[in-house]
Amino acid sequence: MPDGTTREGAHDAWEGAMAQARLQDPTAPWRQDPTTPKQIAWLTAHRIRVREGPTKGEAADRMSRIMGRSS
């Protein structure tokens, strides 16, 4: 590639961008699934009270805010 990027490196960057887009998609089906035990443990470790029945999407949004990412 002209800029010195390998084809494999460019592909990896593209796959990473696509994965990030799926995580940030507010309509992604996974966002409605129940929160995982690992998500609950992570939020609890960061002193976030977890109410009954949050979704994966709600937990992911909280985690992103804590880590300083927009959501």
- The Cα–Cα gap between 20 and 24 comes to 6
Q: Which residues pair with 32 in a beta bridge?
A: none
**pLDDT tens sequence for the chain (71 residues):** 555 667 777 767 767 665 565 667 889 999 999 999 999 999 999 998 888 888 999 999 899 888 886 44
The residue ranges of every structural domain in the chain are 7-66
Closest CA to 51 of 39, 64, 69: 39
Inter-helix orientation angle 37-45/56-66, to 10°: 30
- What pLDDT shows up at residue 45? 94
